Amino acid sequence: MDDAHRELDGHDAYELLGVPDDADERAIRRAFALRVRAVHPDASPEPAAHTEAGRRLHLLKTARDVLLRDREAYDRQRAARPAAGAAAPQPSGTFRPSKGGGVLLVVLVGYLFALAACVSAVTAHAWKREPPIPRGLVGTWEGRLEDAGAATGDRVRFTFKAGEGHGTVVYLDAGCTSTLTPRDGDDSYVEFREVVNAPARGCRGDTVGITIGADSLGVTFGPEDPRANATLGRAAP
């Protein structure tokens, strides 16, 4: 079993993100974005709640990365699991719904599926438009990357200017820069595509998700470097 699969700790990746088995990459990324806003540790001031939020965030990131990077192997492993258990047979004398009730149920289920498809289509259309830089992102932010296995992460500076459709990242220790272009998001979470301005060791070139807090930003990188994240505070321009 892959290490990432083990890190799901028995949870189902699709269920964690709330997506169907046939969800495409965009749906997976959007589901992750919606859920990470509610569980980000910065939203939980209490120590116990902060720890649980961090654990939940790790599960969500692991589920996202498994489905984006190793989905075929995960699906094979998932299909090989024993079934949760067949429904118990009805004892004799148990009431059984009439055929008419069954037809009504089928019609109702079909209607609900059609309604869900319409809502999904409208939502997907709204997310296709390139979002602007939210007001809460404007400014200069600094912090350190938290990489698994590293005692101290590189210092980074993110800058967003009002009226511009992109942001910039400076990796202060590596001495390189990149440009962030928004892909999806809203006023509390934005997903960016990062493009390195000049090839250099230490610059990442990845998908960057930013959760916007009152006085801090929660930054996650993935799927190329799924274990890297950072909490940034406001800094002088």
Q: Indicate whether 233 pLDDT > 60.
A: yes
Domains and CATH numbers, the chain: 3-79 (1.10.287.110), 135-235 (2.40.128.280)
Residue-level pLDDT at 157: 94
Q: Give the tens place of pLDDT for each residue, 89-111.
A: 444 444 444 455 555 665 566 66
Report the range out of 24-28, 34-38, 40-44, 105-109 with the highest average pLDDT: 24-28
Q: Indicate whether 126 pLDDT > 60.
A: no
Six-digit token string for 62: 């692991």
Q: Indicate whether 160 pLDDT > 50.
A: yes
Q: Give the tens place of pLDDT for each residue, 48-80.
A: 666 777 788 888 888 998 999 889 999 998 888
8-12, 83-87, 137-141, 189-193: segment of lowest average pLDDT:
83-87
* Residues contacting residue 33 through CB under 8 Å, at least 6 positions apart: 184, 185, 189, 191, 209
Q: Give the tens place of pLDDT for each residue, 191-214.
A: 898 888 876 666 777 788 898 888
Closest CA relative to residue 64, chosen from 129, 22, 7, 17: 17
Q: What is the mean pLDDT of the chain?
A: 76
Instruction: For residue 75, count other CB atoms closer than 10 A to its CB.
Output: 15
Residue-level pLDDT at 142: 95
